[in-house]
Structure 1
Amino acid sequence: MATHLKNLSDFSHTTIPSAESFRFAIVTAQWNADITGALYQGAYDMLIQQGTIPENILSFTVPGSFELIVAAEMVLNTQQVDAVICLGCIIQGDTPHFEYICNAVANGISNVGIKHAIPVIFGVLTTLNLEQAQERAGGKHGNKGTEAAASAILMADLQRLLK
């Protein structure tokens, strides 16, 4: 496994620009709340660390990862933001439900971003078990929420550069 010992949240090879002038929305699924809460904290902390003003971070919760899609759409229809960060955790069970939800959420989130031409970041863990989720929500593989926030900043910066 390529990520066996790697901390995926290591940004030592990347310069993350200041986020002082940006406005972000973080939409977090409540399902698997221990994991998604850690993802949220990682995202929030990264935005603050890069200079985002707390008042420029809008936070919303939804029941589960599937609802992230419509929530991102609602945010972009009603709020002026530079990026939306979608955070969730889908853990495989015994039925094909896992694959359907993972595919729908990934496709839905990307479609919202394409429709609005505003970055909508996929910060959704799709893991085989709870241990893998914990390892990616502040454990030995870093915090996917931190990564999602870094992506949001980089994409918002790119969008501003292209304007």
Structure 2
Amino acid sequence: MAEFSGEPRGEGRRIVVVASRFNESITVPLAEGAVSTLVAKGVAFDDVDVVWVPGAWELPVAVRRALATGKYDAAVVVGAVIRGDTPHFDFVAGEASRGLMEASRDFEVPVGLGLLTTDTMAQAEARAGGAHGNKGEDAALAALEVLDVCDRAFAHDEGDEADA
């Protein structure tokens, strides 16, 4: 049996961060957290592109267009959908998440999910650098780790000994 795990290594990687402007007081710290984490893990600053879209609904199409270029090893997505008094939340949060998952599956490229779906602004603030950390950082780490584990588990020749 072979067992594989990855490390969040960014050297030689090119990453796109796609961020929603809606709820900007939340999404700016999430995007900043993602970028600073990518750079801290070895991604060259010039190899990180940040793309801003109006809201969470627009995240999947922007990610798909970015991945279709073939320029990026992974995407990190940040946004915030905060529940209100209408069912709008349910449609936007679910469909945006599904669209991002489909982009990752279709392009076989990791998409780190930093799309907050919270009941209140206070919950979002707690996850954008507050008491619950910065989910933009977590999404960046996840994307890099998946890249590394995929390289380790699937990029070797069948006859080679796996580097677990």
Q: TM-score, normalized by length of structure 1?
A: 0.88
Residue 121 of structure 2, aligned match among 130, 144, 153: 130
Residue 98 of structure 1, aligned match among 85, 89, 94: 89
One-letter amino acid of the structure 1 residue matched with residue 25 of structure 2: D
Matched, 1:148 2:139: yes
Give the corresponding residue for 1:4.
Answer: none
Give the corresponding residue for 1:66.
Answer: 57
Cα distance, 1:25 vs structure 2: 0.4
Unaligned runs of 5+ in 2: 156-164
**Given that residues 28 and 87 in structure 1 are in contact (C-alpha distance below 8 angstroms), is that contact kept between their aligned partners in structure 2?**
yes
Which has the larger displacement, 133-142 or 72-81?
Answer: 72-81
Alpha-carbon distance in structure 2 between the residues aligned to 1:60 and 1:25: 7
Alpha-carbon distance in structure 2 between the residues aligned to 1:17 and 1:74: 25
One-letter amino acid of the structure 2 residue matched with residue 40 of structure 1: A
One-letter amino acid of the structure 2 residue matched with residue 144 of structure 1: K
Residue 118 of structure 1, aligned match among 90, 101, 109: 109
Give the corresponding residue for 1:21.
Answer: 12
**Given that residues 109 and 121 in structure 1 are in contact (C-alpha distance below 8 angstroms), is that contact kept between their aligned partners in structure 2?**
no
**Given that residues 16 and 50 in structure 1 are in contact (C-alpha distance below 8 angstroms), is that contact kept between their aligned partners in structure 2?**
no
Unaligned runs of 5+ in 1: 1-13
Which has the larger displacement, 14-23 or 142-151?
Answer: 14-23
Give the corresponding residue for 1:10.
Answer: none
Alpha-carbon distance in structure 1 between the residues aligned to 2:128 and 2:13: 25
Moved over 4 A (4+): none
Alpha-carbon distance in structure 2 between the residues aligned to 1:101 and 1:16: 32
Cα distance, 1:57 vs structure 2: 0.5
Identity %, equivalent residues: 35
Matched, 1:88 2:67: no
**Given that residues 6 and 149 in structure 2 are in contact (C-alpha distance below 8 angstroms), is that contact kept between their aligned partners in structure 1?**
no
SS at match of 2:49: strand
Which structure: larger Rg? 2
Query: Aligned-pair RMSD on alpha carbons?
Result: 1.4
